[in-house]
């Protein structure tokens, strides 16, 4: 019996010693020329049918990378059907969009271009517009060596810009690298975050965005069937109200929260998640300390945003 207990005890100690969150790499390798071109495209309303909407319209990269509206507004002021998630650190997501319908950033960038509620364009229309621009033709020729701009190159440049949108060196990342210490409230907040179960879904380099989970595990969450959840992809009944877990990186900048934008503040979001997904009621002190921890997740602004 002693031989059985000792190995199990050893395993438990070592599992608990493994840190469930990883720091964002300080250096992110990108093709800077492509990324700068992608930035110009990301900011340009030319890519929408009525010249009203840019990628930036729904993903404010200067303020958390998401949208402060509950749902974004696109072509002819039409409203979207779900809260716009952040594009910051999206390269670390295991899938893209709330329901994971895009396998990578290339598929994700293609979606809004063709969505009638967003850019309401198509590859041919985008090519025609950009090929009527001497400025863009010159830049695509210099970078890609082509005389005519093709849609796939447009997406390639935008994706390279999105690959550059990482936010390293948050206080928590520096803590993980043993460069700084957390304050007592921040440390206690992180301990509570782990002990009460938040870490189960929010872990890894993006502190989330690496799994699908049901919104409302212990209590049924009010669901609106128009929100594109995993059921919309798989048609499996148990995938109703299942969404990609959002990243907590820069979470203090990305209100409102959840796929439906129903939580206006972090305090409200934590209370809802505790109740519906953990079956708990957190005290005000616990919530305040968790927020102190979450505030340490704000990283440095992407360097590419410093120049045009």
DSSP line for the chain: -HHHHHHHHHHHHHHHHS-S--PPPS-----HHHHHHHHHHHH-GGGSTTS---HHHH--TTTTTS-SSSS-B-GGG-B-SSPPPP-TTGGG-SSBSTT--BSSHHHHHHHHHH-TTTT---HHHHHHHHHT-HHHHHHHHHHH--SS--HHHHHHHHHHHHHT------HHHHHHTTSS---HHHHHHHHHHHHTTGGGTS-TTTTSSSSEEES-SSSPPP--TTS--THHHH--GGGTTEEEPPP-TTGGGS-SBSTT--B-SHHHHHHHHHHHHS-----HHHHHHHHHHHGGG--PPPGGGG--
Task: Residue 304: name the closest of 110, 66, 33 by CA.
Answer: 33
Distance CA 278, CA 272 (A): 9
Has 186 been annotated as catalytic?
no
The answer to whether 126 and 154 have CB atoms below 8 angstroms apart is yes
Question: Which of 19, 27, 76, 118 is an active site residue?
Answer: 118
Strand partners, 73: 79
Distance CA 25, CA 161 (A): 17
Active-site positions?
A: 118
């Amino acid at each position: 019996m002693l031989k059985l207990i000792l190995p199990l005890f050893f395993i438990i100690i070592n599992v608990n010693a493994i840190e469930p969150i990883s720091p964002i790499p300080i250096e992110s390798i990108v093709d800077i020329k492509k990324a700068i071109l992608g930035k110009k495209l990301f900011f340009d309303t030319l890519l929408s049918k009525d010249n009203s909407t840019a990628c930036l319209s729904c993903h404010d990269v200067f303020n958390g990378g998401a949208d402060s509206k509950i749902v974004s507004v696109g072509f002819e002021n039409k409203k979207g059907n779900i809260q716009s998630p952040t594009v910051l650190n999206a390269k670390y997501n295991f899938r893209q969009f709330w329901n994971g319908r895009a396998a990578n950033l290339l598929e994700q960038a293609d979606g809004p271009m063709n969505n009638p509620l967003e850019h309401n364009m198509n590859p041919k229309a985008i090519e025609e517009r950009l090929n009527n621009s001497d400025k863009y033709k010159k830049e695509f020729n210099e970078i890609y060596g082509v005389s005519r701009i093709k849609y796939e190159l447009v997406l390639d440049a935008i994706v390279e810009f999105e690959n550059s949108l990482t936010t390293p060196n948050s206080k928590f990342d520096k803590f993980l690298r043993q460069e700084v210490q957390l304050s007592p409230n921040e440390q206690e907040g992180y301990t509570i975050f782990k002990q009460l179960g938040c870490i189960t879904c929010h872990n890894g380099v993006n502190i989330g965005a690496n799994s699908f989970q049901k919104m409302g595990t212990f209590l049924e969450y009010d669901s609106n069937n128009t929100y594109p959840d995993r059921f919309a992809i798989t048609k499996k009944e148990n995938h109703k109200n299942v969404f990609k877990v959002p990243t907590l990186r820069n979470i203090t900048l990305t209100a409102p929260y959840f796929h439906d934008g129903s939580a206006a503040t972090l305090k409200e979001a934590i209370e809802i998640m505790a109740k519906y997904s953990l079956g708990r009621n957190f005290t005000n002190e616990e919530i305040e300390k968790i927020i102190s921890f979450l505030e340490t997740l704000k990283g440095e602004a992407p360097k590419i945003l410093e120049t045009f």
